[in-house]
Structure 1
Amino acid sequence: MSLDEPGARYLAGLLERATGQQLAENRSWRIDAALGPIIRDRGLDGVTGLVARLVEGHDPALQAEVIDQLLNHETFFFRDAPVFRQVDVAALHALHGARAGSRRLRIWSAGCSTGQEVYSLAMIFAEAEGRWAGWTIDLIGTDVSPSCIRRAEQGVYSSFEIQRGLPVTQMIRWFDPDRDDWRVKREIGRRARFSVHNILDPAPSGPFDLVFCRNVLLYLTPERRRQAFQRIAAALAPDGFLVLGAGETVTGHTDAFAADPDARGLFRPAAGAARMRAA
C-alpha cells in the first residue's frame, strides 16, 4: 500500500503521534505485511475496514496492537558484530579502568526490541568472567513496543532467531532447551532488566556509562532526533560512550556528542571529549 492512499496516511499519522516514529515510503510495505494478521483475526474488510474501525475510536486495544505491529522490530544477536568487538576492546576497556573504584557499570540499550542486543552484551561480560569478577553490571533494555518488552523479559527464542547471530556452540553454552525453543540461562538473564519506554521521553534513571541507540533515530524527524539526543546526553556520564547504528551519525543533528577519534563508530559527550583532548 502506498503512503499516498488515505488509509496509509492515517496509519502513518497514528504511528507518529503515538511513538514519534515516521512510516516512510520505503517502510510502507509494513502496512500490508504487519497488519494482515490483525485484519484476518478481526474479520475486517482489508486496510479500509481496519482504518474505519480505528477512526470510530471505540477499540483502544486494537489501536495499540496496530501501532505495535507498525514498528520495526528487526534485531538479532550480535547484530553488526564489528560494533560489538569495538565496544569490547575500546569502550569497555576504557570503562574498566575508569570505574575501577566503584566496580559498577550501567548500560542502556534504547530501542532494544526483543532483547537480543541486551543479551549479546550479557554474553560479552559472561565470557570475560575473570575480568569482571566482583563488578556489578546493570543492563537496562527499553523499547516503545510492549510486545517486544514482554518477549525480552521472557528471554525465549527459536533456533532460527538464535542462529541468525550465534554459532551452535554459543547457543548451547548460554541457552537451555525450552520445548521447541531456547531460554537464556540465568547467569545471562540475571543482569538484564527491561521496561517500556519511548526515547523521546525522559531517560531511565542514570547516569549510564554506555548507551546503545542503534537504528532508532533514523525513523525520527530531525527535530525529534535532536530531542532524542538531548535525552541521551542527559543520561550519559561525561566520560561515557554512545553507540549508534551503521547509518546514523551525530553530525548535523546535535552538538552534544562528538566522534571518538580513537574508536571509530563510538561517540562521546562533547564536553567530556574536549576535556580529554585538553588533558
Structure 2
Amino acid sequence: MTGPMPSGTISAGAMNLIASLLEQRTGQQITANRVWRIETALKTMLRAEGLESADALVAKLLTRAEPKLAERVVDALLNQETSFFRDAAVLETAADALKSLQAEVPHRRLRIWSAACATGQEPLSLAMLLAERGMAEGALAPEILASDVSPSALARARAGRYSQFEIQRGLPVRRMIEWFEGGEGEGEWVAKAELVRRIRFRRHNLAADPPPPGKFDLVLCRNVLLYFSPSLRTRVFDTLAGAVRPGGLLVLGAGETVIGQTGQFRPSEQFRGFYRLADPAACAATG
C-alpha cells in the first residue's frame, strides 16, 4: 500500500485493512490513486454476503468467523484485466522466438510459462499462434504452463468460457470461428477442447511461491510486476531467473523493464523487448 487512503463511503481504516490484506496475500499494492477499485471490485461480493458496506465486510473479516472470507475478498480485488492477443506484436515475436529456439534444439520439447495468466486469454492466444505455425502437434509440441494466484480466474481459464465482450477483444473473427463454439448462455463462447488441452493450469503466487519445477524456454510475466513494491519486484525477478533455461527468454509488459530492477537479466539482442539471463553459464552450473 502506498500513501494514505482517503475516506469516502468506506472509511480510511477499512480501506487500509483491505489493501493490506491484498498485499499480504499476493504482494500486489493498491496505490492511493487506485483506491476506487476497492469499492468497485467488492460491490458484487457485498450483495452476495448481504452486507451494506465495505466497513461491514471488514467487521466480518475481523471476527474470523468465515476462514475462506479473506480469500474471497482478495480474489475479488485482483485485477484480471486481459484480452486475447493483447499487444499482438509481442505475442507474434514470442511465437517467432519459439520457432527459432525449436530449430536450435529440434529433439527437445520446448516449455513455456505464462505467469499471472488471469482468465487465460494469453496462453490460449499463444496456443493458437503455435498451431498456425505448425508447432502444436506431435510429441515435441511445446508445453504451455499457465498460472495465476486467483482460483476463480483459473477456473474460468480451465473452462475456456468467455462472454461476447471478452471474445471480441483482440480476437479476429477467423480465429473465433476456428477455435471457439457457442456456449449454453446467451452471447457465451467456449474454447474448443483441442485448444484448452494444450495448456496446463496451476495456482501459483509469484510473491511467495518458488518457480514451477523444471526450466522454461519462454516465460511471459506481463503487467503484474508493476503492482509490486521495488523490493518484492527484485525477489520476483530472482524467481523468474530460476525458471528460465539458459538461452531462454523473459517477456514483460509494455510498462515494465529489468533496467534498474535486477541484474539477473539483460536485453535480448535478437528479439527486441525480450530479455535473456545475464549470465547463462552461471545459471546452467547451478540449475
**Within 5 A, what are the aligned runs for 1:113-192?**
113-129=118-134, 135-179=140-184, 180=186, 181-192=188-199
Looking at structure 2, the residues matched to 214 and 105 of structure 1 have their Cα atoms a distance apart, in angstroms, of: 20
Deviations 1:123-160 (A, max 9, x none): 01111226865523211110000000111111111221
1:41 and 1:190 mapped to 2: Cα distance? 33
TM superposition shift of 1:98 = 2.1
Match of 2:249 in 1: 241
User: Counterpart of 2:174 in structure 1: which amino acid?
Assistant: T
Which position in structure 1 is the counterpart of 2:64?
Answer: 57
Q: Distance in 2 between matches of 1:131 and 1:152?
A: 19
Shift of 1:11: 0.5
Secondary structure of the equivalent of 1:60?
coil
Matched to 1:28, the amino acid is: V
Unaligned runs of 5+ in 2: 7-11
The 5 A counterparts of 1:1-80 are 3-4=5-6, 5-80=12-87
Contact 1:258 1:273 in 2 (8 A): no
Match of residue 82 from structure 1: 89
CA shift for structure 1 position 212: 0.3
Matched residue type, 1:94: S
Q: Is the 8 A contact 1:141 1:195 kept in 2?
A: yes
RMSD: 1.8
Matched residue type, 2:101: L
SS of the counterpart of 2:143? strand
Distance change (3 Å), C-alpha of 1:273 and 1:116 = farther
Moved more, 167-176 or 236-245: 167-176
**Match of 2:57, as an amino acid?**
L
Q: How many residues align?
A: 272
1:125 and 1:132 in contact (8 A); partners too: no
Looking at structure 1, the residues matched to 178 and 155 of structure 2 have their Cα atoms a distance apart, in angstroms, of 24
Residues 219-270 of structure 1: per-residue CA shift (max 9 Å, x gap): 1111111111111111110100000000000011111100112321100011
Unaligned runs of 5+ in 1: none
Q: 1:100 aligns with which of 106, 125, 129?
A: 106
Q: Which runs of 4+ in 1 moved over 3 A?
A: 130-134
How far apart are the structure 2 equivalents of 1:183 and 1:221?
Answer: 37
How far apart in 2 are the matches of 1:152 and 1:18? Answer: 21
Quick one: which amino acid aligns to residue 19 of structure 1? Answer: T
Aligned amino acid, residue 16 of structure 2? R
| Aligned ranges 1:190-201 → 2 under 5 Å | 190-200=197-207, 201=209
Query: In terms of mean alpha carbon deviation, does 21-30 or 226-235 score higher?
Result: 21-30
In 2, the alpha carbon distance for the partners of 1:190 and 1:45 equals 42
CA distance in structure 2 between the aligned counterparts of 1:249 and 1:138, rounded to whole angstroms: 26
